[in-house]
Amino acid sequence: MQLAAYLERIGHSGAVRPDFATLRAIHRAHLLTIPYENLDIHLGRPLVLDQARFFEKLVVERRGGWCFEMNGLLAWALREIGFRVELLAGAVGRAARGDGAEGNHLVLLVELERPYLADVGFGNGFLEPLPLAAGVYHQGFLTYQLEGADGRWVFTNDPCCGPGFDLTLTSRRLTDFAGQCDALQTEPTSGFVRTTVCHRFTPDGIMSLRGAVLRMVRAVGVTTHTLSNAVEFAELLERQFDLNIPHVATLWPAIWQRHQSWLAEQETHERTQGLPVH
């Protein structure tokens, strides 16, 4: 780990030490700088569980990544600073997927004077670390909840940002996530395979690009905008997400086709429910 290069990448110029102030600052800086994105899956580039590759992609190539890459890189950096960090297996969508969801999300546990959950790999989760204690937590205009139940911890995301996840406190190794890492980027039913996704925190909210739809979550409300062509898609990635990816515009035809199919499904659903069709 070239720690100085990572800190420069996220724009952190202050001193670092294994304390909460440093953890909070780095967590915020990472999310405000490095976007969450799964574009390599759609570009046909395998995502691997390798710390050196995390660093090369996110720091040197100035790309974003998904949970295994984002939290894998953060864990490595925090350990270099002197933090005690454990990898935990999270589960997104357990209600629908059952035990098959175990480990489809990587979360970090950071041990300080009290334990904290760190997670820069959920995309639109919490901006700052959360203490591992049951309660309701407010960060800006967003509200989160943590609760313990049946030996698991459950994170409930802000209603504006969608579902959360649950996890256990069993320490894991990076290799323990290999099966999920492979399945999530190859199985046709995986949401990561079906849809391109980019998230990035901004000083006043969160912007999310799912397929052709850009969604902005701010204190004043939620707005959406549908992109119309490949040029707009590539320019938005570069301007808003700081992602300059060669050949990314080639993804647009498939993105637009999926968007049209989704619109058709919505129209069919509205007709069958007797709702006015928009």
**What positions carry a catalytic annotation?**
67, 105, 119
Q: How far is residue 181 CA from its own chain's centroid?
A: 14
What is the rounded distance in angstroms from the CA atom of residue 65 to the CA atom of residue 268? Answer: 35
Least Cα distance to 153 among 230, 111, 96, 91 occurs for 91
User: Structure tokens of 6?
Assistant: 């990572």
User: Structure tokens of 157?
Assistant: 């995301």
Instruction: Please report, as a single letter, which amino acid is at residue 97.
Output: R
Is beta strand 135-139 parallel, antiparallel or unpaired with respect to 142-149? antiparallel
What is the rounded distance in angstroms from the CA atom of residue 155 to the CA atom of residue 145? Answer: 6
What is the rounded distance in angstroms from the CA atom of residue 192 to the CA atom of residue 188? Answer: 9
- The answer to whether the beta carbons of residues 27 and 121 sit under 8 Å apart is no
- The answer to whether the beta carbons of residues 144 and 157 sit under 8 Å apart is yes
User: Structure tokens of 123?
Assistant: 């995309």
- The answer to whether the beta carbons of residues 154 and 146 sit under 8 Å apart is yes
Sign, CA torsion 41/200/163/175 = positive
User: Structure tokens of 61?
Assistant: 């190539």
- The answer to whether the beta carbons of residues 129 and 24 sit under 8 Å apart is yes
What is the rounded distance in angstroms from the CA atom of residue 211 to the CA atom of residue 258? Answer: 8
Rounded to the nearest 5°, which phi and psi values hold at 150? 55, 45
Instruction: Tokens 């700088």: give the residue.
Output: 33
